[in-house]
Amino acid sequence: MTDRETGRPRGFAYAEFATVEDAQAALQAMNGADISGRSLRLDFAQSERRSPQARTPQGPKNPPSNTLFIGGLSYSASEDMIRQAFSNCGEIKSVRLMVDAQGQAKGFGYIEFPTVEAAQAAMALNGAAIDGRTVRLDFAEARQERPARSPVAPAEGPKNPPSEKLFVGQLDFAATKEDLNAAFGRFGTITDVHIVMDKMTRRPKGFGYVSFQTVEQAQAAMQAMNGVAIRARPVRIDFAGERPARPERPAREPRQDRADREKENRPRRR
């Protein structure tokens, strides 16, 4: 078992066997055994007592829509797991697993189907197990319409002179190099994609860089993609400015010359 907040092991676990006899044999043989320098303490796990109402999944609370809310997910659940679990429900338009500001899974997401009828059929999986966790399904509430806005305001154009390299800001923390290649690849030949990571946590910092073969390709991508959503989050794009040149350090004095000079400067004894 791992801690939900830190993701670190909590120092205990469960092993399930096919029969009670197998579990009894394992307990007799392994109780007190040493693993990685620590002695194990084994016991039979108590059966969970749940009321019939707790085992019966609740029905949907929201009116039908073509998008399902899926809750109760394990923090290791992936988009491929979700698609596999719902593969018998027909075409799936998109799967969005929600993460926090640090890129950690929040345990819920959304599944979009082409029609309301397809989502209603998928509701049959309410209470099913995915990656060892019982999931809860409901129809997602319709989002309120927002006033349309232009992808990029005139005042938020590029601040740096054109170059082959683009700065991509406000990146979704779940965005990958593959996402950036897919979004920018149609504008020309991409020579490099770099998502900046925090040196301490090794988690994405929310920005990156995309380099093209020519300035013209980067300009085309800049005009088309500034303000466009990648993984449901609008990105802010600018030409990457050149790093200021570091001042040259004075050449170090050879060790022997420095030692000789210090020796000359020492006060002489009288």
The 10s digit of each residue's pLDDT in 157-177 is 788 899 999 999 999 988 999
> pLDDT tens for residues 60-79?
888 899 999 999 999 888 99
Cα 178 from chain centroid (whole Å):
13
pLDDT at 154: 41
| Contact (CB, 8 A) for 92 and 80 | no
**Interstrand relation of 67-71 and 94-99 (parallel, antiparallel or unpaired):** unpaired
270: its two tokens: 């009288």
**pLDDT of 18 over the 90 cut:** no
Q: Tell me the C-alpha distance between 179 and 185, whole Å.
A: 10
pLDDT at 232: 81
Count CA atoms closer than 13 A to 57's CA, side-chain side.
Answer: 18
pLDDT at 83: 93
Cα 159 from chain centroid (whole Å):
29
**pLDDT of 223 over the 60 cut:** yes
| Contact (CB, 8 A) for 73 and 143 | no
Using pLDDT thresholds of 50, 70 and 90, give the confidence band for residue 44. confident
Q: In what order do the strands lie in the sheet with 204-212?
A: 190-197, 204-212, 165-169, 236-239
Q: Which DSSP helix (H) or strand (E) runs through 80?
A: helix 79-85
pLDDT at 26: 83
Task: Tell me the whole-structure pTM to 2 decimals.
Answer: 0.39
Using pLDDT thresholds of 50, 70 and 90, give the confidence band for residue 147. very low
Q: Tell me the C-alpha distance between 172 and 103, whole Å.
A: 8
pLDDT at 61: 84
